[in-house]
Structure 1
């Protein structure tokens, strides 16, 4: 099930994200964050008027999340957002990311947002396919812009138009 994030989801979201910090190049953050850090991030997204959704299983456990956030601070970018999705490793590639993006895109289509941008550490075939499933296309590739786990990493940008 997909629903809007609640305050009591913060620790579960933090746990999911910290797994990626410690074990993946999907995020370029290198230090784990606290639940308070995540609560601030959720609040910032919500205060900006953007959606943040969580997926939960039948037991009510949060198994993933997706949100939209400001792409750039300049006013001319106000109709463009960066989108993000993370799924608990136990649920990876079982459709949770697609369900989250479906809810996120539906909400964004009802707003003034016209363009969505996804940033993907490359290679990441699963994430690339997820973004392309939502009619996003690769529009940029930056080589060796991140350094994590003793390796240089590339980043690709996927763009989609909602309207």
Structure 2
């Protein structure tokens, strides 16, 4: 079941996200996020009028996706950055695609024109997902993040929604 996130989902979202922080370079955060911090992040996204979606399987959150403003200056108001994360046991089950499809539909309804995703590299699975969703690589920044004693590049993918 796909539905909007609630502040009450913060603990379950942390259970999905914190292993990415603590065990991988996929997130450049270095400290686990508390339930309170995650609840505030969810509220900030919702207060900005943007969607945060979760995928629930048999009563358990398995994945989530959300959009945040790309930049703060007014001219950027039609651009967002998107992220998607799945619990380790739920990877490669199509949840990311389902979440992004629903997220992109909602973003188009909100008048968003440009969707941007940053990917810590290498990350072939994330690249495949974003390209499956019609995103294309537009930039690569070399060695902009250091985690676990190694430098990592970050690539940016984008998708433009057509205006009718």
- Which band: TM-score by shorter chain? over 0.9
- Alignment match, 2:96: 97
- Aligned-residue Cα RMSD (Å) equals 0.7
1-structure distance, mates of 2:143, 2:6: 37
Residues 1:45 and 2:45 aligned together: yes
1-structure distance, mates of 2:137, 2:7: 34
2-structure distance, mates of 1:63, 1:134: 20
Deviation at 1:7, TM superposition (A): 2.5
- Alignment match, 1:10: 10
Residues 1:20 and 2:15 aligned together: no
SS in 2 for 1:67: strand
Question: Which ranges in structure 1 are unaligned for 5 or more consecutive residues?
Answer: none
TM-score by length of 1: 0.97
1-structure distance, mates of 2:86, 2:149: 25
Q: Would you say the 8 A contact 2:7–2:43 is kept in 1?
A: no
- Alignment match, 1:136: 135
Alignment map for 1:61-100 (pairs within 5 Å) = 61-100=60-99
2-structure distance, mates of 1:142, 1:81: 19
SS in 1 for 2:97: helix
Question: Which ranges in structure 2 are unaligned for 5 or more consecutive residues?
Answer: none
1-structure distance, mates of 2:99, 2:111: 20
Moved more, 7-16 or 70-79: 7-16
Shift >6 Å, 4+ stretches: none
Q: What's the CA shift string for 1:135-157, capped at 9, x where partnerless?
A: 11000000000000110000000
TM-score by length of 2: 0.97
Aligned length: 162
SS in 2 for 1:97: helix
